[in-house]
Amino acid sequence: MPAELDRLLPRLADRRAHLAAAGTTFCRLAHTSETAGLFALDRAGRVGVLSLYADLSAGQEQLLAAACARLGLESVYLKRRPQEARHAANVERERLSPPQPIRGEVQEEVTVLESGVPYLIRPGPDLSIGLFGDARPAREWVRRHAPVGGRVLNTFAYTCGFGLNAALAGAQTVKNLDLSRKVLAWGQENYTLSGLPAPDHDFLYGDVFDWLGRLQKRGELFELVVLDPPSFARSKVGVWRSERDYARLLAQAAAVTAPGGQVLALCNHAGLSAGQFEKMLEAGAAQAGRRMNITDRFGAGEDYPGAGHLKVRALRLDPGG
């Protein structure tokens, strides 16, 4: 394994070298499609995040981390990703995502760039480190298409990457909505890195469906709504499954989307085909009485070859009738 990796990893890293020249220091150096499904390697500046999708011995993990470090990484953090991670991530957090690096010195926080925009990455204690690299094209889309002087709603905001790009593009009002106060505060730190104001009233804590209903009752409308839900989530109001509930989500989002406004809808459920996803979007628009036109279709970034899990659709919603 080490000899093969010593040939493979530098070649893969060379393919991504142009990203740094374009102002991107956060990328996937090796995707699972390039490693026979064994592992993936992400670069966050000078820190590597090694995700394992197979059980390896402690010695094999060390050899793999050493091979990764030879790409100029000062530290390598390990993420063990089980087939069924929802429960294990809660009860085995420290085993799945050790807070200490498997190689190199502790780096609790790293500031990275994506197309010149800085983001704060925390590579240690959680499986999620602050930014999902496969959504880079979607964040770039928001940067190009956010309404200048308009209003944007970023749901399931996580650390607010979409909202940040909308604000940088010139949107006048950007609301970031998430069920975790912790990640919203992280998002405010990302705003600060770009020199943007981050008032608390633009970072909404709570359930997305509850907030969409409240915003609708207030008569608030947005020229762009971003939908980036997890495949599965549990909250006080119930269980969310994207393969079952996405149509309902779009219907509620449509109710707060201005006439002729846009929705950027993301789905990362690998078991849901692109065709099935689009049918759910059509059903949601119909429920809301809106005419839907898909204006753009794309997926994960160039450093995710062969990845079909992420489906991104840009929609324009016109009044029905």
Active site residues: 267
Which ranges of the chain does DSSP label H, i.e. alpha helix?
2-15, 17-21, 58-69, 85-91, 93-96, 136-145, 161-169, 181-193, 208-218, 242-254, 274-287
Helix (H, G, I), strand (E, B) or coil at 316: strand
* % helix, strand, coil for the chain, step of 5: 40, 30, 35
CA distance between the termini of the chain: 62
Cα–Cα distance, 195 to 174 (Å, whole number): 15
CB 187 within 8 A of CB 175: no
Token couple for 15:
């393919």
Token couple for 53:
């999708």
